[in-house]
Amino acid sequence: MTGAVFTVRQIFALGVATALLLAIPATGQEAAAAQVAAPPSASAGAAKMLARTPPMGWNSWNKFACNIDEEIIRRTADAMVTSGMRDAGYEYVVIDDCWHGTRDADGFITADPKRFPSGIKALADYVHSKGLKFGIYSDAGRKTCGGRPGSQGYEYQDALTYARWGVDYLKYDWCNTGTRNAEEAYTLMSDALRSTGRDIVFSLCEWGNNKPWLWSPKVGHLWRTTGDITDKWEGKHDYSWGVLNIVDMNEPLWPYAGPGHWNDPDMLEVGNGGLTDTQYRSHFSLWAIMAAPLIAGNDISTMNEATKAILLNKEIIAVNQDALGVQGRRIWKEGDREIWMKPLTGGRRALLLFNRGNAPAVIGFDWEQLNYPPKLRTRIRDLWLHKNLPARAQSYSATVAPHASHMLVLEP
């Protein structure tokens, strides 16, 4: 026998390293991710998969609703660059409802001439000139939720118009759709977008009414799982839900998310003023660990330092954007205390210790809950404190303030 001759010491060293690797059993999520991450089918196109990680960007609705104009969109695009948002990964600048004017004599949709006098093409060009991508909004019904012209009956014509304008992302709403079949309506627009030959991320906004997670992965890249978010911690408010309610609706859907197709628990409210900074940090942490699209919904041009520190926390963004593409889930809950886990590349785990209660709470976990061997010595990084905690094995616990979240990455 030649070649492979090892000393006892080498064999021991190799053995420990291999044993460590082999001893980390994959979680069900990691196994599922391995399948999802396998080469995409011909239709998806290996080199062309859009939204391989959850889309990131900004959308006008949560802050401005229908009070939008081209000046706000330009100012936002500028601020995306100067604030560092673009460089942190926020890519799409999306105009939500109410940009529309009327259809012209040939049926082509036009922009509201008062609010968007330069037209949408010029605005898209401006956004692109900033190194950002441009998104727009329409609706599968005859009218949008804001009463503007919808795309029903004009799907191919609108898709063509968007492609001519340079649209990179379409959010497609579900108001005024009557008895339309959701899967058919969204598939029609999906086909129309594809027929343009332009890469357009397709965001389904059907509020989870027809279980879009079951049929949307082949239709679009993200789908809303709930009604609208509102800038409140908890409860139902007219047609909208607080952050905690949305979290509880979106969490069980984790098996349906993966590269190119994501559950969308709606856009961020961080910085809009309805929550405390502690609650906003939890909101952002939960969206990150749920592999949710990170679409900021505040006024980027006037945001304060606390808001910036949340939206620009690159360590937390990295958890959201991890290439394994697995949606994290709640692995333990007792009363108001919760532990969430998201498997990451390299056998790492993101952990979220979340306290919903009004009093400080001790929250802890064992390595077994993470599918780690108990003796595995593990590095621990705190992503809000931006510091390494002492490496350890077996278990970890900490006291978490009311409504707060500790977000960690464990690395064997």
**Interaction between residue 231 and ligand GLA (CB under 6 A):** no
What is the Cα–Cα distance from 257 to 275, expressed in whole angstroms? 28
The CB-of-102 to ligand GLA minimum distance in angstroms stands at 18
**Interaction between residue 97 and ligand GLA (CB under 6 A):** yes
Q: Which is nearer to ligand GLA, 61 or 90 (CB)?
A: 61
**Interaction between residue 340 and ligand GLA (CB under 6 A):** no
* Interface mask toward ligand GLA for 120-159; x: CB under 6 A: ------------------------xxx-------------
**Interaction between residue 228 and ligand GLA (CB under 6 A):** yes
Q: Pick from 205, 288, 303, 324: which binds ligand GLA (CB under 6 A)? A: 205
**Interaction between residue 61 and ligand GLA (CB under 6 A):** yes
**Interaction between residue 206 and ligand GLA (CB under 6 A):** no
What is the Cα–Cα distance from 270 to 98, expressed in whole angstroms? 23
What is the Cα–Cα distance from 356 to 337, expressed in whole angstroms? 6
Q: Which is nearer to ligand GLA, 223 or 233 (CB)?
A: 223
**Interaction between residue 269 and ligand GLA (CB under 6 A):** no
The CB-of-144 to ligand GLA minimum distance in angstroms stands at 6
Q: Which is nearer to ligand GLA, 165 or 172 (CB)?
A: 172
- CB burial of 55-78 (b: ≥16 within 10 Å; e: otherwise) equals bbbbbbbbbbebebbbebbbebbe
- Say how many Å lie between the first and final Cα of the chain, rounded: 35
Q: Which is nearer to ligand GLA, 144 or 327 (CB)?
A: 144
Residue 278: is it exposed, middle or buried by C-beta count within 10 angstroms (0-12/13-18/19+)?
middle
Helices (H), 237-333: 243-250, 277-289, 305-311, 314-320
The CB-of-96 to ligand GLA minimum distance in angstroms stands at 5
What is the Cα–Cα distance from 398 to 3, expressed in whole angstroms? 50
What is the Cα–Cα distance from 104 to 378, expressed in whole angstroms? 63
Q: Which is nearer to ligand GLA, 96 or 269 (CB)?
A: 96
The CB-of-339 to ligand GLA minimum distance in angstroms stands at 30
Backbone torsion region of residue 161, taken as left when φ is above 0, otherwise alpha when ψ lies between -120 and 50, otherwise beta: alpha
**Interaction between residue 173 and ligand GLA (CB under 6 A):** yes
Token pair for residue 39?
């080469």
Q: Which is nearer to ligand GLA, 155 or 228 (CB)?
A: 228
Token pair for residue 307?
């808001």
The CB-of-242 to ligand GLA minimum distance in angstroms stands at 15
Q: Which is nearer to ligand GLA, 96 or 158 (CB)?
A: 96
The CB-of-135 to ligand GLA minimum distance in angstroms stands at 12
The CB-of-148 to ligand GLA minimum distance in angstroms stands at 9
By DSSP bridging, strand 378-382 and strand 387-392 are antiparallel
Catalogue the active-site residues: 173, 228
Q: Which residues are within 8 A (CB) of 195 and not within 5 positions of it... i.e. 6 or more apart?
A: 156, 159
Contact positions with ligand GLA (CB under 6 A) in 280-309: none
Contact positions with ligand GLA (CB under 6 A) in 23-52: none
What is the Cα–Cα distance from 267 to 11, expressed in whole angstroms? 52
In angstroms, what is the C-alpha Rg of the chain?
Answer: 23
Token pair for residue 191?
């086909």
How many residues bind ligand GLA (CB under 6 A)? The answer is: 9
Place of tokens 């509201």: 112
Contact positions with ligand GLA (CB under 6 A) in 67-96: 96
Q: Which of 322, 342, 346 is nearest to 331 (CA)?
A: 342
300 DSSP assignment? G
Q: Are 216 and 225 in contact (CB under 8 A)?
A: no
Residues at the contact surface with ligand GLA, assessed by CB under 6 A: 61, 96-97, 144-146, 173, 205, 228
